[in-house]
Amino acid sequence: MSNDNNQKLFQEACQIIPGGVNSPVRAFGSVGGTPRFISRAEGCRIFDTEGQEYIDFVGSWGPMILGHAHPPILDAIARTLKNGTSFGAPTAAETELASLIIEMVPSAQMVRLVSSGTEATMSALRLARGITGRDLCIKFEGCYHGHGDSFLVAAGSGAATHGHPSSPGVPASTADLTAVIPYNDVEAVRTLMAANGDQVAAIIVEPIAGNMGCVLPVPGFLEQLRELCTQHGSLLIFDEVMTGFRVHAGGAQSLLGIDPDLTTLGKIVGGGMPMGVICGSREVMENFSPTGSVYQAGTLSGNPLSVAAGIALLTELRDRADEIYPALEAKGQQLQEGWQQALDRHGIAHCWNRAGSMFGLFFTEGPVNNFSDASGADEQLFRRFFHGMLAAGVAIAPSPYEAGFLSMAHSAQDIDHSTTVIENLSL
């Protein structure tokens, strides 16, 4: 199969875009080779500029829960587009989307819309610092909360993929305000809070981690974070950019029954258009300017096209939740069983973590409960697996430090086909 056009486009891009990409993990840095340049996507398939099609288990890194180019979302964007692309002024649709979020996400009483998950987490931490008058933040190794300075310390996702989990350019004085603890290590949090709890503005956590592969919280971990935050007057921030509306219609907090003080959302909430959200209790959220004094702003915040796409997607997820989430779980089970059996036949050690349609496959015996476990997996094998799948028309994320995603558009046949591809790989 020709890859000439992708190679030509990548070379051209590399001349004028750092690494040829606008987000590092897309560059195939850890797996080698040439990124596919995508011309279109539909359902569970993406198509590259060579005309080659792939069953897609990346789903634009999460938003495509109902599939690519989902007609109700395209229609909503097309209808809205006729009226203009940005007003920099309030719209009725923003309030409609905020109401939907409040209806679906248990801890949300008020909502602010921004343009990306990174903006949401940065603003959530500023809000926590403003409210508490404290500076310290606790994050977990391998969790990724966007590329704000405070979070590029022992970060997952592309930062881990490219070997810079703590980025140059982040002033030491900022990095020093972020304490890093292994995911699922509640004793370490307890010790740190006992010593410095009165200085901790917030604990931020992916309630189900998706940026070191998929890693699930061990029983009691999140409950104890909740308890420690309450006890020490710190705010608990759930970064649900990946898990929001993905693992349950109400996000991980609904699935796991824990209310954070603040939640950040992204990806699904914008229906595949740029969108981030900070939400929480009225008491907390009213500290944002202009009702409060914590400043936060954006010309494109509440962009009408993103809002229209978000309303279309969330409305469908809410109205069809009883059908969609069990169906996604069934697809996840089928995928897991099929891939596990195929890898067993190859005699390959592997470990699987999954929350419904969000999954992580690690080439190690496991268990994988934190970043150190995840980074112990066989990277060479991952590379061979990745390229074997891609060559056979199955796209997974080009990094072991990313989660995989299924959508409602993946049929049983698509999933079976991906299993057959694994059976036929030479690993």
Residues 6+ apart with CB under 8 A from 258: 207, 222, 223, 226, 238
Among 7-15, 19-27, 76-84, 133-141, the segment contacting ligand HOZ (CB under 6 A) = 19-27
Applying CB under 6 A, among 6, 10, 25, 363 the residue interacting with ligand HOZ is 25
Contact present, 174 and 149 (Cβ < 8 Å): yes
Q: Which of residues 344-403 bind ligand HOZ (CB under 6 A)?
A: 402
| Three-class DSSP category at 125 | helix
Distance, CA of 116 to CA of 274 (rounded, Å): 6
Active-site annotation holds for 149: no
| Shortest distance in whole angstroms from residue 108 CB to ligand HOZ | 23
Tell me which DSSP letter residue 285 carries.
Answer: H
Q: Is residue 118 a contact residue for ligand HOZ (CB under 6 A)?
A: no
Hey, what long-range contacts does 320-325 have (CB within 8 A, 24 or more apart)?
321/249, 324/65, 324/66, 324/249, 324/408, 325/248, 325/249, 325/356
Q: Which stretch binds ligand HOZ (CB under 6 A): 20-28, 33-41, 244-252, 410-418?
A: 20-28
Q: Are 323 and 335 in contact, with CB atoms under 8 Å apart?
A: no
Helix or strand holding residue 85 (H, E): none
Q: Binding segment for ligand HOZ among 21-29, 183-191, 192-200, 302-310 (CB under 6 A)?
A: 21-29
**Minimum distance from residue 69 beta carbon to ligand HOZ (Å):** 17
Query: Does 151 interact with ligand HOZ (rule: CB under 6 A)?
Result: no
Binding test (CB under 6 A) with ligand HOZ, winner from 20, 63, 142, 158: 158
- Pairing, β 404-405 against β 358-362: antiparallel
Name residue 371's beta-bridge partners: none
CA proximity to 211, closest of 285, 283, 143, 133:
143
- Note if 144 is an active site residue: yes
**Number of residues binding to ligand HOZ, judged by CB under 6 A:** 9
Q: Could you say whether residue 178 binds ligand HOZ (CB under 6 A)?
A: no
Closest approach of ligand HOZ to the CB of residue 179, in Å: 22
Smallest gap from residue 278 Cβ to ligand HOZ (A): 18
Dihedral of alpha carbons 80, 81, 84, 86, sign: positive
Report the candidate in 245, 227, 279, 258 with the shortest Cα–Cα distance to residue 99: 279
Q: How many CB atoms lie within 10 A of CB 230?
A: 12
Nearer to ligand HOZ, 26 or 70 (CB): 26
Cα 197 to chain centroid, rounded: 28
Q: Does 161 bind ligand HOZ (CB under 6 A)?
A: no
Least Cβ distance, residue 98 to ligand HOZ (angstroms): 25
3-state helix, strand, coil in the chain (%, to 5): 45, 15, 40
Q: Does 240 bind ligand HOZ (CB under 6 A)?
A: no
- Which residues 121-150 are close enough to bind ligand HOZ by CB under 6 A? 144
Question: Is residue 34 within 8 Å of 6, Cβ to Cβ?
Answer: yes
Residue with Cβ nearer ligand HOZ (23 or 420): 23
- Residue number, 241 or 351, with CB nearest to ligand HOZ: 241
CB atoms < 10 A from the CB of 378, how many?
A: 16
State in angstroms the smallest separation of the CB of 296 from ligand HOZ.
22
Find the catalytic residue in 54, 56, 183, 267.
267
Q: Which of 26, 126, 129, 248 binds ligand HOZ (CB under 6 A)?
A: 26
CB of 22 to ligand HOZ, least distance (A): 8
Active-site annotation holds for 239:
yes
Stretch that binds ligand HOZ, among 22-30, 122-130, 306-314, 380-388 (CB under 6 A): 22-30
> Edge-to-edge strand order for the sheet containing 404-405?
351-355, 358-362, 404-405
Q: Which 38-77 positions form the footprint of ligand HOZ (CB under 6 A)?
A: 61
Tokens 């060579």 belong to residue: 50
Q: Is 211 in the site for ligand HOZ (CB under 6 A)?
A: yes
Which residues are annotated as catalytic?
A: 144, 239, 267
Question: Would you tell me which residues interact with ligand HOZ (CB under 6 A)?
Answer: 23, 25-26, 61, 144, 157-158, 211, 402
